Structure 1
């Protein structure tokens, strides 16, 4: 082989090794990011209940801190898109998240904890939109898929949910916040090793506000349906663990139930790209959101049956896993490259922020220490069905094939 040929071969091997390292670090980062959610999403209600808060106060606190997801994503993504320094924004967000979250150890009042969690959430929103964009750009240069990397987030969620669930049977209700600080610190460290692929200069024609694209019909309907879906999740995120406790399941069993749903996500992420290619964005969103409505209804009416809980949790693969993979794909293909971070931010701030806050508040007002469990989950079912039906206002072709103009 000629010297030039040897150099090219070595360069190719180095590039392949570098790509594998980059994918490995991204996988670890997803593991930690969603591992943190595996601690707080199921068990924050347990922590707050242990601090003596009522169900209405828990719902209100969830709603207030979720509101931080409305302003935060757009602010951080705008900085990332305009500076081209998505990694810097992500690292800063992780560092400030650890710093502000640690203050929960010094607050005991409702407003003190609300401030601590609200600030934490504001900085937390800097992480995921940038991570999603970096991952999509990285896998585009490899044979890997987004789903193959993202599934490690689900694995992290499972591990932390089961582990903290078991720990709650042994230690105090403060266990979730202790675990969270450790995971958040490791998350910040992992971001220090991420290297973004080199990208071409942003498109000059893409200058302007994200809202000129967001108000177009396919995107607007997609956001509305996503918001309805997240409203419906308010009952689950805020009160599922307390619901299971009221039904006399142990903390470990509750963790296993939650982990079962996330385990189902892993399988979906492995085949998500194939499903999107075969069935398209519209079909997958409609079926997934509609089945989520069914999921909440059976939880409302038949939660005293073990197998109903198991089947309900398996639908989580569609409720969250497939809808999220399809949503990331839709945003990436619908918007110009220079708007990818801001597109993800709109999705997170409106659907997860505004929708999630309303869903949490509403569920908290309905729950009444568990006496209105049926009404709470039935309302969730109604919102999911409304979200599915709203997709009928947009044709399959518009959502699957059109691009923002």
Structure 2
């Protein structure tokens, strides 16, 4: 009797992941194309993307406080999704810099309410069964790939405004899909709440977070200007979509063996390897993007520079902060590296793009290279933690 409802519950969760990451597959690669179509130059594009990236620092922490105090994760998820749709609708009204900045800033602020609550609901639904969770989460990557490829084709046929029409469609679908979810009982934590200041002052954490920031700085030009770069080099929107999808597919496949790689070689070696590969990736993009075979290689490197690097970083956070500070440690890592580092990368890229694409991605390469050198300064045993 319970098997069918359980399967239906898992399918509903998979659909929400599909739509959530499908929206990321639209906005992350193609926001720059949309803004370019609205007549903004590269400086304004870099500033706007940096601005909305900064909300990743404040948004998750704000919603986390509300979730912790109320315990109503599903209503917060649903509200965040609904408000994202309404805020996104402002893009059909505003056409000026500050109007678009307001709209995108509000979208990201509300959008950050969705995934953290969805993750907790999913993990409690599957009772932390990693196998079931992975199968559900996989649909997020599938959604990203499908929406990226389809929108790339749409850009070949229609205008850059396709980005916001597709986004509104997917966001509306997401909001509707969340109405069919159910919140399971949430396991309460009775661990002591204490200060983690001592952890944050540790040299190994300072080095780790600095390298994480620099890695995300290096991703800024890619997220903000890759689609524009491909268009300027004469590649079609569909080719760009398939290239982005290839990177995500490679990332998913590497995730399946990332744990074994990290266990065999250790966190430090893996991080250094990923950072140096990132430096090579961005320099190839700067100097040889006119060759399609090089672009394929560059996108296959996404498996290492994002997938493996993220897996190693998660293992570091898990081991370094331990059970007591696990959630707060992860929030600090995500907020500072993805929010702060991503904002810096996009902001600087906007100015460098005025000079030449080569300097933009060469800057990304240098950022990743410096990050790798910084991690090399520590001993490997400082990245080893007791279970």
Task: Please report the TM-score for the alignment, with normalisation by the length of structure 2.
Answer: 0.90
Distance 1:392 1:326 in 2: 15
1:46 paired with 2:33, answer yes
Q: Give the C-alpha shift of residue 105 in structure 1.
A: 0.6
1:247 paired with 2:233, answer yes
1:269 paired with 2:255, answer yes
Distance 1:196 1:337 in 2: 24
Distance 2:167 2:154 in 1: 13
Secondary structure of residue in 2 paired with 1:401: coil
Q: Give the C-alpha shift of residue 211 in structure 1.
A: 5.0
1:126 paired with 2:110, answer no
Distance 2:74 2:7 in 1: 18
Gaps of 5+ in 1: 1-9
Match of residue 258 from structure 1: 244
CA distance 1:239–1:143, shift in 2 (3 Å) = closer
1:35 paired with 2:19, answer no
Match of residue 372 from structure 2: 388
Distance 1:104 1:133 in 2: 31
Secondary structure of residue in 2 paired with 1:144: helix
Superposed counterparts of 1:337-356, under 5 Å = 337=323, 339-356=325-342
Secondary structure of residue in 1 paired with 2:95: coil
Asked if the contact 1:63–1:360 (Cα under 8 Å) also holds between the matched residues in 2, the reply is: yes
Aligned length: 387
Superposed counterparts of 1:108-127, under 5 Å = 108-127=95-114
CA distance 1:202–1:289, shift in 2 (3 Å) = same
Distance 2:205 2:213 in 1: 12
Distance 2:12 2:89 in 1: 25
Superposed counterparts of 1:2-401, under 5 Å = 14=2, 20-136=7-123, 141-142=128-129, 144=131, 147-195=134-182, 198-205=185-192, 207-209=193-195, 211=197, 213-335=199-321, 337=323, 339-368=325-354, 371-401=355-385
Secondary structure of residue in 1 paired with 2:234: coil
CA distance 1:32–1:196, shift in 2 (3 Å) = same
Secondary structure of residue in 1 paired with 2:131: coil
Distance 1:285 1:138 in 2: 32
Distance 1:97 1:142 in 2: 30
Gaps of 5+ in 2: none
Asked if the contact 1:71–1:349 (Cα under 8 Å) also holds between the matched residues in 2, the reply is: yes
Asked if the contact 1:74–1:342 (Cα under 8 Å) also holds between the matched residues in 2, the reply is: no
State which drifts further: 23-32 or 256-265.
23-32
Secondary structure of residue in 1 paired with 2:175: helix
